[in-house]
């Protein structure tokens, strides 16, 4: 005979499972994602040896990071969590300003909708819990003065560029800035970017020297976005020098043949 009042049940979480959530709105990669993934090394006996678990990767920031982070046009005061046909409005402005945020532990099947604002907000273009920690860009530098085109970024993509990097800093990383003032001062660059809101490709051309002299002007020195491409073009002096070399290459065999005929 056992008295139910004498029994005490203790339940502790050993490991929280991965869950599927969907994210849409002003994020770079909307879609369905698995968050709180568990590595094989953390399963089995290692999991049973734990004394509890904290599901830090099952909260709102994990879902937003899985979706590529918020875009610069996001309305952080209007983040909606949809759970079983019920909507909850969350305020995430504190992720940028340092104020408190409405953080929520997510459940399987939750949906997050990030509101969109009507303008580009430069204050959102920096690393945070809900923005990309770094971005990938593609760069091309075919300039002749570069000692090695391989090290200048030909056909390579640059990892670990901090989110918030501007075009001029990207050009420096691609070895497009500096060198001889005579040959390099009049080079120009193009930025090839896809508007994440309209999904249309946009091409911007800038004088590199103008960017160096006016680097603090946001209107001519835009932010780099994920998967942007930058390409550097030679100056007119370099082009003339290459044209002269090409002409010399063509004319040299003709002159040699003329000498042999006279001999």
CATH number, domain of 19, equals 3.10.560.10
Do 163 and 208 lie in one domain? The reply is yes
Do 156 and 100 lie in one domain? The reply is no
User: Among the three residues 124, 154, 177, which one is the final residue of a domain in this structure?
Assistant: 124
Query: Is residue 253 scored above 80 in pLDDT?
Result: no
Q: Is 263 part of any domain?
A: no
Do 101 and 143 lie in one domain? The reply is no
Q: What is the mean pLDDT of residues 213-223?
A: 82
Do 89 and 139 lie in one domain? The reply is no
Q: What is the mean pLDDT of residues 218-227?
A: 89
Do 159 and 74 lie in one domain? The reply is no
Tell me what percent of the chain is helix, strand and coil, each rounded to the nearest 5. 25, 30, 45
Do 30 and 119 lie in one domain? The reply is yes
Q: Is 220 part of any domain?
A: yes
Q: Is 251 part of any domain?
A: no
Point out which residues pair with 223 in neighbouring strands: 166
Query: Is residue 199 scored above 60 in pLDDT?
Result: yes
> Could you report the per-residue pLDDT of 132-180, keeping only the tens digit for each?
888 988 887 765 544 555 555 555 556 578 999 999 988 888 888 876 6
State the pLDDT at residue 131: 94
DSSP states along 184-206: HTT-EEEEEEE-TTT--EEEEEE
Q: What is the mean pLDDT of residues 217-238?
A: 81
State the pLDDT at residue 183: 62
Q: Is 200 part of any domain?
A: yes
Distance CA 111, CA 232 (A): 42
Do 120 and 163 lie in one domain? The reply is no
Do 119 and 154 lie in one domain? The reply is no
Which residues span the domain enclosing 120?
Answer: 9-124
Q: By C-alpha distance, which of 184, 186, 155, 172 is closest to 224? A: 172
Q: How many CB atoms lie within 10 A of CB 246?
A: 10
Do 120 and 35 lie in one domain? The reply is yes
More confident residue, 90 or 9: 90
Distance CA 169, CA 58 (A): 35
Q: Is 207 part of any domain?
A: yes
State the pLDDT at residue 262: 57
More confident residue, 172 or 246: 172
Burial class (CB in 10 A: 0-12, 13-18, 19+), 255: exposed
User: Among the three residues 85, 106, 124, which one is the final residue of a domain in this structure?
Assistant: 124
Q: How far apart are the first and last CA of the chain?
A: 124
Distance CA 132, CA 94 (A): 17
Per the CB < 8 A criterion, the answer to whether 22 and 106 are in contact is no
Query: Is residue 20 scored above 90 in pLDDT?
Result: yes
User: Among the three residues 103, 124, 145, which one is the final residue of a domain in this structure?
Assistant: 124
Number of domains in the chain: 2
Predicted TM-score of the model (pTM)? 0.76
Q: Is 208 part of any domain?
A: yes
Do 172 and 212 lie in one domain? The reply is yes
Q: What is the mean pLDDT of residues 238-245?
A: 53
The pLDDT > 70 percentage for the chain reads 73
Q: By C-alpha distance, which of 137, 203, 194 is closest to 171? A: 137
Band (259; pLDDT cuts 50, 70, 90): very low
Do 160 and 190 lie in one domain? The reply is yes
State the pLDDT at residue 171: 87
> Could you report the per-residue pLDDT of 26-54, keeping only the tens digit for each?
999 999 999 988 766 666 665 566 665 67
Do 67 and 96 lie in one domain? The reply is yes
Distance CA 203, CA 188 (A): 13
Q: By C-alpha distance, which of 224, 235, 226 is closest to 170? A: 224
Q: Is 261 part of any domain?
A: no
């Amino acid at each position: 005979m056992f008295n139910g009042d004498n029994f005490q049940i203790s339940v502790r979480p050993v490991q929280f499972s991965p869950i599927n959530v969907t994210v849409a709105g002003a994020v770079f990669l909307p879609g369905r994602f698995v968050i709180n993934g568990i590595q094989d090394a953390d399963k089995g006996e290692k999991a049973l040896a734990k004394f509890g678990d904290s599901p830090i990767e099952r909260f709102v920031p994990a879902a937003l990071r899985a979706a590529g982070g918020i875009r610069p046009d996001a309305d952080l005061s209007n983040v909606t969590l949809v759970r079983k046909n019920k909507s909850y409005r969350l305020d995430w402005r504190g992720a940028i300003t340092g104020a408190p945020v409405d953080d929520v532990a997510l459940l399987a099947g939750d949906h997050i909708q990030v509101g969109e604002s009507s303008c580009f907000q430069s204050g959102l273009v920096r690393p945070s819990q809900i923005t990309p920690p770094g971005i990938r860009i593609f760069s091309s530098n075919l300039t002749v003065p570069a000692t090695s085109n391989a090290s200048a970024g030909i056909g390579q993509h640059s990892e670990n560029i901090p989110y918030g990097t501007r075009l001029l800093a990207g050009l420096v990383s691609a070895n497009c800035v500096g060198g001889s003032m005579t040959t390099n001062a009049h080079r120009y660059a193009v930025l090839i970017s896809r508007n994440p809101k309209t999904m249309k490709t946009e091409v911007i051309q800038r004088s590199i020297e103008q960017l160096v002299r006016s680097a603090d002007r946001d209107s001519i020195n835009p932010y780099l976005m994920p998967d942007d491409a930058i390409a550097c073009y030679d100056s007119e002096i370099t082009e003339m020098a290459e044209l002269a070399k090409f002409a010399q290459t063509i004319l040299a065999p003709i002159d040699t043949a003329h000498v042999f005929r006279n001999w």
